[in-house]
Amino acid sequence: MEEDIQQLSNEDLKLLFESFSIVRTGEYPGSEVQLGFKMLFGEADKNSDGQVEKADFFQLMRGYFNSKHQKPTQLDIDMIYKKIDLNNDGRISFEEYDIFVRMIYETEYLPALDRELKRRNLHLTMHNH
């Protein structure tokens, strides 16, 4: 994640920051960013029952692992799956995935982005409408 961010142009960094701040604020539901996540979720939900089962979970998380340059073991996947499956029914609903996405943005992506913005001396603020 960190190295990927460092390779972005200032302009791309700004765009990324904006999409992140959308996730952070109440503008997220129904936004293009969320539609993107809905699409990813829909692709992983192969039988279209609105839930991602364990067999399809890696596909859902591929982008996340790629962004961390991580090759997860089955154990890692099991652990994350358990963490995301808040109601413990053995399946991931979009709501559960959505909560996870926001948490990752808040705890992993935003701090990394923030560090890079500071390093380049770019001062952007979260926009609130």
Which H or E run contains 47? none
Cβ atoms 26, 129 nearer than 8 A: no
What Å distances lie between residue 46 and 43, 56, 92, 100, CA to CA?
6, 7, 13, 20
For residue 85, the minimal CB distance to Ca ion (Å) is: 4
Dump the DSSP string for 88-112: -SSSEEHHHHHHHHHHHIIIIIHHH
Distance CA 34, CA 128 (A): 18
Q: Identify which of residues 46 and 120 has a Cβ nearer to Ca ion in the complex.
A: 46
**Interface with Ca ion (CB under 5 A), residue from 32, 49, 73, 74:** 49
Site string for Ca ion, 28-47 (x = CB under 5 A): -----------------x-x
* Residue 55 within binding range of Ca ion, rule CB under 5 A: no
Binding mask 62-101 for Ca ion (x = CB under 5 A): -----------------------x-x-x-x----------
Nearer Cβ to Ca ion, position 100 or 109? 100
* Residues contributing to the site for Ca ion (CB under 5 A): 45, 47, 49, 51, 85, 87, 89, 91
